[in-house]
Amino acid sequence: MKAALAAAALGLALAAPAHAGRPCEDKPATTRQVEQGLGLAQATLQALDASGAEVVLLARAGQDLSKYGLRWSHLGFAYRQDGVWRVLHKLNHCGTDESALYRQGLGEFFLDNPFRYEAAFVALKPELQQALLPVLADNTRVARFDERRYSMVAYAFGTKYQQSNQWALETLAGAAAPGVVSRRAAQDWLQSQGYVPTDLHLSTLTRLGGRITRANIAFDDHPSARRFSSHIDTVTVDSMFAWLQRSGLSTPPQTVQP
């Protein structure tokens, strides 16, 4: 098991760097960081195997979002294929305004220098897992709801930009409701099913500073009335986990520590 995770870590060194809403770091990971990342990956692997699930939503704490009352910053689909767990998720290109989808091993997923070495996952209901499995294995189908233009705080019900968690949520909606074939239709379905995004309270000064200094932050897709009153509605891991439980689409979150 450790050998497999170590191989995944080696593969990361050969891949182009991309981080979920953070600038790329030129310095390589320290030995301690690699050990911690692989330790968390190993613990997650054991927990996923024990869950009996085939598809889960797997979250990590890449950034400290506690001032917004949030525990997790980023998630992706973890799915088992031919006995191996893979993670499919959307990543921002090193702080630019572009993004892409990545398929990684568990080792790679946790070697992104997270703020906290802790993970959480929810197992989706069996019929949703079965609907998602063929989608996650197909590069064309997983890209159906992908928008390359990236904003870390993309409006939850807008289509101009998209952030990482938003892509996962819209892809899940497409699997849950087969008639949903566009981002707008996915968002309409999510609203009809009671999904409520996180309301970030960001002052005018904070919004202005973020927009000027960060290429991966934009606010012009948010409704003016909400934006000018400092309300930014965006998709977060915490809001997704809460909605999935409330709607009966998943188990409660299970926390994993190395």
Measured in residues, the chain has a length of 258
Spans of all domains in the chain: 2-256
User: Tokens at residue 211, please?
Assistant: 């927009």
d(CA 171, CA 53): 18
**Strand runs labelled E in 93-237:** 99-105, 116-123, 198-201, 231-234
- The helix, strand and coil proportions of the chain, stated in percent and rounded to the nearest 5, come to 40, 20, 40
d(CA 89, CA 104): 8
* Predicted pLDDT at 113: 86
Q: Is 55 helix (H, G, I), strand (E, B) or coil?
A: strand
Please, are residues 211 and 151 in contact by the beta-carbon 8 Å criterion?
no
* Predicted pLDDT at 28: 80
Cα angle 155, 161, 167 (rounded to 5 degrees) comes to 85
* Predicted pLDDT at 215: 86
- Phi, then psi, of 47 in degrees rounded to 5: -70, -40
* Predicted pLDDT at 147: 98
Q: Which candidate, 114, 142, 132, places its Cα nearest to that of 41?
A: 114
* Predicted pLDDT at 21: 46
**Beta-strand pair 84-92/198-201:** unpaired
Cα angle 55, 9, 252 (rounded to 5 degrees) comes to 30
- Helix H or strand E segment including 209: helix 204-213
* Predicted pLDDT at 211: 55
Stretches where the chain sits below pLDDT 70 are 1-26, 204-213
Q: What is the pLDDT of residues 131-179, one digit of tens each?
A: 999 999 999 999 999 999 999 999 999 999 999 999 999 999 999 998 9
Give the bridge partners for 103, in sequence order: 88
d(CA 79, CA 194): 26
Dihedral (C-alpha) 91, 214, 173, 132: value to the nearest 10 degrees? 0
* Predicted pLDDT at 252: 98
Q: For the beta carbon of residue 108, count every other beta carbon within 10 angstroms.
A: 22
Give the bridge partners for 91, in sequence order: 100
Residue whose token pair is 């929810």: 122
d(CA 79, CA 66): 28
